[in-house]
C-alpha cells in the first residue's frame, strides 16, 4: 500500500491525485488506520488478524463495470460519498486495485491510500473516508465482519460529528 496526500485538483476521481507528499505508516497509525501486505498464500495470517479482531464472517465483493452493469456509476458515487461506519471496516484485496481516502483528523485533509492485491486494510469505526476504483475499473476484495456481512454507511453531515461512534473515535485519538 502506498499513502499520500490527495492533491484536490478537480478531475476523474479514479486518477491518482498524488500531491507528491507521502504519508508515513506512523501518521496512518496515529489516526487508527492499519495495513499489511499479505500474499494470498498466507491465509493463516489473514485468519489470525480476523480472529484477533473477533471477526468470524467474510464475503467476497467484486466491483467492475461488467458485474454492476447499469448500477456501476451510481455504486461508485455511493462509495465515493464521504461517510463513516459504526463498525471497523476490514478489507483484503484479492485482485485489482483502488483508493481509500481517509480524513486526517487534525487538518481534515484527505489522505489517499492506494491498495493492490495482497493489501489488508483496517479503518477504525468513526473515521471519515471514501472509496473509488482506479483507472483499471476493477477490484475484488474480501470483506471481513463481526456479524453477518453488511455494509451500512453514515453520510457525513452535522449529525455525524456528534454520532457517539465518531465522538469515541476522536476521544481514542486524544481529541476532546
Does 89 carry a binding-site annotation?
yes
Contacts of 126 (CB under 8 A, 6+ apart): 84, 85, 86, 163, 165, 166, 167, 168, 169, 170
Q: Is 85 annotated as a binding residue?
A: yes
Does the annotation list 105 as a binding residue?
A: no
List residues forming the annotated binding site: 83, 85, 89, 129
List residues forming the annotated binding site for Fe(2+): 83, 85, 89, 129
List residues forming the annotated binding site for Ni(2+): 83, 85, 89, 129
Amino acid at each position: 500500500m502506498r499513502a499520500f496526500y490527495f492533491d484536490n485538483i478537480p478531475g476523474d476521481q479514479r486518477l491518482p491525485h498524488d500531491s507528491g507528499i507521502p504519508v508515513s505508516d506512523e501518521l496512518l497509525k496515529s489516526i487508527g488506520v492499519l495495513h499489511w501486505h499479505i500474499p494470498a498464500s498466507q491465509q493463516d495470517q489473514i485468519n489470525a488478524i480476523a480472529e484477533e479482531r473477533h471477526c468470524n464472517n467474510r464475503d467476497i465483493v467484486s466491483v467492475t463495470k461488467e458485474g454492476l452493469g447499469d448500477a456501476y456509476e451510481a455504486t461508485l458515487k455511493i462509495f465515493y460519498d464521504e461517510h463513516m461506519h459504526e463498525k471497523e471496516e476490514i478489507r483484503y484485496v484479492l485482485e485489482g486495485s483502488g483508493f481509500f481516502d481517509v480524513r486526517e483528523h487534525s487538518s481534515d485533509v484527505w489522505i489517499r491510500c492506494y491498495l493492490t492485491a495482497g493489501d489488508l486494510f483496517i479503518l477504525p469505526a468513526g473515521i471519515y473516508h471514501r472509496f473509488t476504483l482506479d483507472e483499471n475499473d476493477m477490484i475484488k476484495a474480501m470483506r471481513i465482519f463481526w456479524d453477518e456481512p453488511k455494509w451500512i454507511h453514515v453520510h457525513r453531515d452535522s449529525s455525524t460529528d456528534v454520532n457517539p461512534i465518531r465522538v469515541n473515535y476522536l476521544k481514542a485519538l486524544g481529541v476532546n
